[in-house]
């Protein structure tokens, strides 16, 4: 902890030397990634807090870390003994630190941040709030870089070709589709800073950050050639030749700004202000930036037929791993208690035995009893709970496979549940079924469909505080924009119309603070339903394959249609998984899939 205080003291010297009143250090990188390489974990280096979400604010007399309830226990432990104070955020990802700065700094104060770690849109939000409070914003400095000794270098993990048998569409075809959209927008270049969009466009994958199989790079697509800015040692000669064959030229990672000012200076450049960092934006030729959506982001969300076929096979293998985890847990709990961390580690080991497995798609959420009521809780070895054969366990996990990305949540009764638990679980299940079974016209958005998943909880004056679903990538980011299910009409997640090929999580829940959490999640694929005089209609196909715990259901609350949906789904699960199982596993599965 003395090291943390020394680092803060060094930062404060930098603040004084640069006439800054406060400093904001986010969790982020120049690519607006959810998970970042060690090189960009400056907030962790400064504060000692290693959670994946949080913002540090430092003034001459205060250091505050803003994070949400997922990380309260972890933050309290890791910050103990340092001068960093935990600021408990009420709403995840809400900019409550901005309010604190506006309320606690005097007018005329100057707040600093590294413009390379904030998008153009984020800086505009900051500047607007600060202007109203009489504060100034300076984005010119990298104060942490000036004091961070022994800073980790950028990763040099090799990049590899993602085979066409998985991707289903060649690099040349994707570049052609992107250029067709560029022509419509009358731009000569498209700047793509987001790592998953680069990986999808070029059919490449990497291992530069946790959980997402991406590589650190920038991509600029021109009408004839494309330019990949990446550390050359990461790209093999064979892959370099393959990229060159498709008109993709390699440049040094740090050569982007010079390229844009020299080679792209005479053409309009399409950029997305929500993903392009401010420092890069300010380096673009003046007057040449045209704002718009990232084109590959909207293309890659529509999974092609090859991707869908691969994904369905992957779901079978992922279901087998989860089945073996639950059977192991049941057998082990009959002998001893099991820690939440051990469950997560054992599940990762079982997934690793499945064909095509590469790694976890996120850190597994294993929440026993009261921990299950902490949305997106992450178990740590020092503080996690011991699981006993009683109560309720929530397990949210996923894998990265060459054949797709998985994300599934199940809630298990480890002993006979009470009436209240069964009612809450059944209301969540009814909402899950209502959304999974939805039929809707083309043009329908997530904010409209979200209500289906909440209606039964609402009737009991209950609710849950997170969105009902997010887009999911194909062997890419498990949280993939733009679509999703959310009660909030602001932003693309709630306002993007669903189209066939979109893969989205369906995960309503209910959380009783201090007692238990309930969530039921499958991934659903949007598919065509029908077309008539009223236009096209779509529906969802549930592609995750694992039984839903029926011991928690109050069957009297289910309609005949809901029972039929569940029985049909369980029959699909049994049919899909049985050929991959041993004889005793088949018996177990048949019992769990028994019709109501």
Per-residue pLDDT tens over the stretch 489-518: 988 999 999 999 999 999 999 999 999 999
- The pLDDT of residue 28: 94
| Residue 64: band (very low, low, confident or very high) from pLDDT cuts 50, 70, 90 | very high
Mean pLDDT of 102-118: 97
Question: Model confidence over 286-330: pLDDT tens digits?
Answer: 889 999 999 999 999 999 999 999 999 999 999 999 999 999 999
Mean pLDDT of 129-142: 97
Q: Are strands 269-271 and 204-205 parallel, antiparallel or unpaired?
A: unpaired
Question: Model confidence over 339-352: pLDDT tens digits?
Answer: 999 999 999 999 99
> Residues 227, 248: contact at Cβ < 8 Å?
yes
| Whether residue 73 has pLDDT greater than 80 | no
- The pLDDT of residue 471: 98
Closest CA to 423 of 450, 460, 464, 394: 460
Kindly give, in sequence order, each residue whose CB lies less than 8 Å from that of residue 338, ignoring residues fewer than 6 positions away: 329, 332, 386, 387
Mean pLDDT of 142-169: 96
Residue 32's φ and ψ, nearest 5 degrees, are 60, 40
Residues 96 and 376: their CA atoms lie apart, in Å, by 19
| Count of residues in the chain | 596
Helix (H) or strand (E) holding 519: strand 516-519
| Whether residue 383 has pLDDT greater than 90 | no
- The pLDDT of residue 92: 61
- The pLDDT of residue 93: 64
Mean pLDDT over the full length of the chain? 96
- The pLDDT of residue 361: 98
- C-alpha 500, offset from chain centre: 21
| Whether residue 261 has pLDDT greater than 90 | no
Q: Kindly state the percentage of the chain with pLDDT values over 70.
A: 99
- The pLDDT of residue 481: 96
Closest CA to 29 of 116, 99, 111, 96: 116
Mean pLDDT of 360-366: 97
| Whether residue 95 has pLDDT greater than 90 | no
Mean pLDDT of 481-495: 94
- The pLDDT of residue 438: 98
- The pLDDT of residue 404: 98
Residues 46 and 324: their CA atoms lie apart, in Å, by 41
Burial 291-313 (b: 16+ CB within 10 A, else e): eebbbbbbbbbebbebbbebbbe
> Residues 413, 518: contact at Cβ < 8 Å?
no
**Runs of H (alpha helix) within 460-498:** 492-495
Q: Are strands 439-441 and 535-542 parallel, antiparallel or unpaired?
A: antiparallel
Structural domains of the chain ordered from first start: 2-147 (3.40.350.10), 160-293 (3.40.350.10), 305-590 (3.90.230.10)
- The pLDDT of residue 279: 95
Question: Model confidence over 138-147: pLDDT tens digits?
Answer: 999 999 999 9
pTM metric for this prediction: 0.96
Rg from Cα positions in the chain: 25
Question: Model confidence over 434-443: pLDDT tens digits?
Answer: 999 999 999 9
| Whether residue 377 has pLDDT greater than 90 | no
- The pLDDT of residue 69: 73
Question: Model confidence over 3-17: pLDDT tens digits?
Answer: 999 999 999 999 999
- The pLDDT of residue 188: 95
| Whether residue 569 has pLDDT greater than 90 | yes
């Amino acid at each position: 902890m003395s090291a943390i205080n020394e680092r803060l003291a060094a930062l404060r010297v930098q603040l004084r030397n640069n006439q800054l009143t406060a400093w904001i250090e986010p969790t982020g990188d120049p690519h607006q990634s959810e998970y970042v390489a060690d090189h960009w974990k400056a907030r962790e280096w400064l504060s000692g807090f290693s959670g994946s979400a949080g913002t540090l604010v430092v003034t001459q007399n205060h250091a505050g870390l803003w994070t949400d309830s997922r990380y309260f226990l972890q933050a309290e432990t890791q910050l103990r003994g340092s001068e960093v104070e935990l600021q408990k955020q009420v709403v995840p990802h809400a900019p409550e630190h901005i309010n604190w700065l506006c309320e606690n700094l005097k007018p005329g104060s100057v707040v600093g941040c590294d413009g390379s770690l904030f998008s153009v849109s984020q800086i505009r939000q900051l500047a607007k709030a600060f202007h109203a409070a009489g504060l100034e914003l300076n984005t010119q400095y990298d104060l942490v870089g000036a004091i961070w000794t022994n800073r980790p270098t950028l990763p040099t993990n090799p990049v590899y070709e993602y085979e066409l048998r998985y991707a289903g569409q060649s690099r040349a075809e994707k570049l052609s589709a992107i250029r067709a959209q560029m022509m419509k927008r009358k731009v000569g270049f498209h700047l793509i800073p987001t790592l998953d969009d680069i990986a999808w466009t070029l059919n490449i994958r990497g291992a530069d950050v946790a959980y997402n199989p991406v590589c650190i790079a920038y991509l600029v697509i021109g009408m004839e050639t494309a330019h990949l800015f990446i550390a050359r040692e990461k790209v093999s000669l064979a892959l370099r030749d393959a990229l060159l064959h498709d008109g993709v030229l390699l440049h040094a990672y740090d050569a982007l700004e010079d390229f844009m000012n020299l080679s792209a200076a005479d053409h309009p450049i399409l950029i997305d202000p929500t993903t392009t960092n401010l420092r890069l934006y300010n380096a673009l030729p003046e007057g040449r930036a045209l704002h718009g959506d990232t084109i590959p982001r909207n293309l890659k969300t529509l999974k092609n037929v090859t991707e869908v076929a691969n994904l369905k096979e992957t779901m079978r293998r992922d279901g087998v791993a989860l089945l073996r985890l639950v059977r192991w847990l049941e057998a082990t709990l009959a002998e001893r208690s099991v820690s939440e961390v051990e469950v997560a580690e054992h599940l990762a080991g079982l997934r690793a035995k499945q064909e095509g497995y590469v790694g976890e798609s996120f850190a597994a959420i294993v929440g026993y009893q009261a921990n299950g009521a902490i949305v997106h809780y992450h178990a740590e070895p020092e503080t996690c709970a011991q699981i006993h054969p009683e109560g309720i366990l929530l397990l949210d996990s996923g894998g990265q496979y060459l054949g797709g990305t998985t994300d599934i949540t199940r809630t298990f009764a480890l002993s006979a549940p009470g009436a209240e638990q069964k009612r809450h679980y059944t209301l969540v299940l009814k909402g899950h079924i209502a959304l999974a079974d939805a039929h809707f016209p083309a043009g329908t958005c997530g904010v409209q469909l979200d209500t289906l998943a909440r209606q039964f909880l609402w009737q009991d004056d209950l609710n849950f505080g997170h969105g009902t679903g997010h887009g999911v990538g194909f062997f890419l980011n498990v949280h993939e924009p733009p679509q999703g299910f959310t009660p909030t009409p602001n932003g693309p997640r709630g306002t993007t119309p669903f189209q066939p090929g979109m893969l989205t999580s369906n995960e309503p829940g209910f959380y009783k603070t201090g007692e238990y959490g309930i969530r039921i999640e499958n991934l659903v694929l949007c598919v065509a339903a029908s077309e008539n005089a009223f236009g096209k209609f779509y529906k969802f196909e549930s592609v995750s394959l694992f039984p839903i715990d029926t011991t928690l259901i109050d069957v009297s609350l289910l309609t005949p249609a809901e029972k039929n949906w569940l029985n049909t789904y369980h029959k699909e699960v049994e049919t899909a998984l049985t050929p991959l199982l041993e004889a005793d596993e088949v018996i177990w599965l048949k019992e769990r899939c028994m019709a109501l």
